[in-house]
Amino acid sequence: MLQIQTIRENPTEVIERLSIKNFDAKEIIHNILSLDTQIRQLKKQLDENLMEQGKIAKSIGLLYKEGKRAEADELKLKTAELKNSEKDIQAELSDKDGKINELMVLMPNMPHSSVPRGKSAADNEVVYEEGDASNFNYDALPHWDLVKKYDIIDFELGCKITGAGFPIYKGKGAKMQRALINFFLNSASENGYTEIQPPYMVNENSAYATGQLPDKEGQMYHANLDNFYLIPTAEVPVTNIYRDVILKSTDFPIQNCAYSACFRREAGSYGKDVRGLNRLHQFDKVEIVQIEHPDRSYETLENMKLYAMSLLQRLGLPFHVLRLCGGDMSFTSALTYDLEVYSKAQQKWLEVSSVSNFESFQANRLKLRFKDENGKMRLAHTLNGSALALPRVMAALLENNQTPDGIIVPEVLRPYTGFDIIN
């Protein structure tokens, strides 16, 4: 959520910057500002009313002590009046508060100045490329055929047990998966991240604080009986560790990483995009989360991007890095880099990581603050990224490393797998 002060102080700048995200904020800001003025007036009235009541209550106490019952009773009548008008003000205030809040949560985060204008994924800017992204000159098998050939991932069996999008990993497939998780977690630790094992279900407050609610309610699995949500990413529980927290400026940077299974309903997805491992309802991911001083958050974003890139380099996968355009960015992000690997058999780019700086947008809802050098309370900046999401990495490894003899396991994974070929 944006801060009301920002909107109050620079409404035209906010409108201008949100237009890069193709969001027309003119009317909504006009309404917010008008509600804001009314709210502040009401607040003032309420404060005065309450002050009056408090004063009267005190003098009643004194009068009783002195035994002046009649005078006290007279004052009581006065409070009754005040209470009535308090009720009115209160009602109006909560009505307006509700309205302004409804509008505030509709406003996306403002994009960073480097974010290009654009409507869709086609307008994203390629900022880096590495590796051989050419296609095989023979008929390479897509991963959904390879996994059958070597019996390492079973989609049909997953359908039987749960449903589409819940594959079952078997034998070397399961071991590969575990090897990737361990490789990613160990690398993160070596790079200064503290490993966290979070809960896979969160309560309503947590889902709200990181912005999944009220926005993406239908995208999360919901355990009705207890009103818990299955996490769509470890970002949710890990970032919520810092909900309602006040940090010291010496606490920065906070670097956490977490492996978790992620659960997404992916309502509305269909077709080729969901084939095989490309889009699942349950998948594994290692997430990195940082909390930074506002002055250093963009430097940190670059480092996180470089770190995610280093994983792909070590796995030997061809990839490129995109700076997302305004139209393709998430609601909460100020700047996002996507990392995509090239899958030679499918002949397409697959997103395996998304690294974002949310600036203070999440921190505002989280109430994640710190005391700065001058002792002033300020919102911290939050950042996160996938390092990495497993299924598409797996898909690309299977497809790109296939040979007539089997699938070659990358060097860096062999200590974790205990084998060097899947055949």
Q: Which residues bind RNA (CB under 7 A)?
A: 4, 40, 43-44, 46-48, 50-51, 53-54, 56-58, 60-61, 64-65, 76, 79-80, 83, 246, 369, 371, 377
Nearer residue to RNA within complex by CB, 150 or 208: 208
- Nearest-angstrom CA–CA distance, 383 and 202: 20
DSSP code per residue over 22-64: T---HHHHHHHHHHHHHHHHHHHHHHHHHHHHHHHHHHHHHHH
Minimum CB distance to RNA smaller for 79 or for 347: 79
* CB of residue 61 to RNA, shortest distance in Å: 3
Nearest approach, Cβ of residue 348 and RNA (Å): 42
CB of 72 to RNA, least distance (A): 7
Q: How many CB atoms lie within 10 A of CB 217?
A: 12
> At its nearest, how many Å lie between RNA and the CB of residue 298?
24
Angle between helices 26-65 and 11-19 (to 10 degrees): 140
Encoded amino acid at 380, one letter: A
Dihedral sign from CA coordinates of 203, 209, 214, 216: negative
Amino acid at the residue 62: L
Tokens for 215, please give them: 């926005």
Let me know: does 53 contact 83? Beta carbons within 8 Å. yes
Residue number with CB closer to RNA (244 or 299): 244
| 108-123 burial: b if 16+ Cβ within 10 Å, else e | bbbbbeebeebeeeee
For RNA, which is the closer residue by CB, 70 or 122? 70
Closer residue to RNA (CB): 115 or 366? 366
Minimum distance between the CB of residue 201 and RNA, rounded to whole angstroms? 12
User: Of 74 and 411, which CB lies nearer to RNA in the complex structure?
Assistant: 74
* Minimum CB distance to RNA, residue 50 (Å): 4
**What b/e sequence results for 389-417 when a residue is b if at least 16 CB atoms lie within 10 Å of its CB, and e otherwise?**
bbbbbbbbbbbbbbeeebbbbbeebeebb
321 close to 307: Cβ distance less than 8 angstroms: no
Nearer to RNA, 104 or 309 (CB): 104
The minimum distance between CB 182 and RNA, in angstroms, equals: 22
- Pick left, alpha or beta for residue 302 (phi over 0 → left; psi -120 to 50 → alpha; otherwise beta): alpha
